[in-house]
Every structure is written in C-alpha cells, then in structure tokens.
Amino acid sequence: MSDMLLSCCILVLLLTDSGFTAPTAIPEEESSPSPETEPDLKLATVSASLLQLLKEMQMFFGLNSTGVLDSETLQVMQSPRCGVPDVEEYSHIQGTRWNKNVLTYRIGRYTRDLRSSIVDSLIESAFSVWARASGLTFVRTHSHNADIMVDSVII
C-alpha cells in the first residue's frame, strides 16, 4: 500500500509546480465517480489538468488513455525508466523554472485515511526521490510562504 501512495506522491510532484490536491479515488471498473460510489472509492482521481497529464502518460506508454490511476498505470509508473524517452515539452506544465535550488514545502491538511506521520514520511520519501533525480533540495517548513503547498482535500 505504501508503494502505491509513494508512486502517487511522486506522480503529483513530477507533474505539478505548486503543490497538489489529494483527490478522491475511482475504482478500476468505473471511469467517473458518482455520489453513490464516493465512499467506496479506492484509487486516486485527479484535478482536470493532472487528469489530462495522466491520460497523456497512459497514451505515451500504450495504455488505455482513461485518466484512471489503475493497476496497469501504477505498474508502468513503478517500472524502471532508464533509456525510455520522455514526453518532449513539460515546460507548459511546470511554468517557469525555479530560480533557486533549495525549495520549501508545507504539508497543510491531512487525509483522514492515514496517520499524519505516515503521510509525512511518504511525502518526505517522494521529495527525496525527486531531489536525487533533479539536483534540488526540498526542506519542510510550517510557513504559509512555502514554495510547494501539499494539501489533502476532497474534490
């Protein structure tokens, strides 16, 4: 379970520039949540822009481009990527480049599904993976002026 959460955290960190919202989830057999199914949801859905990026990633890897974070997509996300060419232009996703190498992040609201210590650990691990790959340093802060805001919200 923690590997899946870590993968989700990494995906969000890779595809957003100012934090993320931890969305509600969709079971693999459903493509869109409804009020009747929300309590039983298991996998993460994402905001509209992240949903589009997920579809693009699925298409890039030859998966069904559903925008659903299903087990097949997670398997691809967890597989080694050495030598696999990436999508050309991520600059439109990331906006402008950071003008510094040390970035701060703040964890705001927590999910009710996990203890805050587990969320803290998973997010710290995700930032650690990203730091090794990017050469950036991520430092947690409690300041409201953090470079990256991480919140869990129900959409």
Instruction: Indicate the annotated binding residues for Zn(2+).
Output: 82
Q: Which pair of tokens denotes residue 40? A: 């039983």
Q: Is 20 helix (H, G, I), strand (E, B) or coil?
A: strand
Instruction: List, as residue ranges, the binding site.
Output: 82, 113, 147
C-alpha separations of 52 from 45, 56, 59, 68, 147 in Å? 11, 6, 11, 10, 24
Residue 87 region by backbone torsions, left for phi larger than 0, else alpha for psi between -120 and 50, else beta: beta
Straight-line distance from the first to the last Cα atom of the chain, in angstroms, rounded to the nearest whole number = 22
Annotated binding site for Ca(2+): 113, 147
101: left (phi over 0), alpha (psi -120 to 50) or beta: alpha
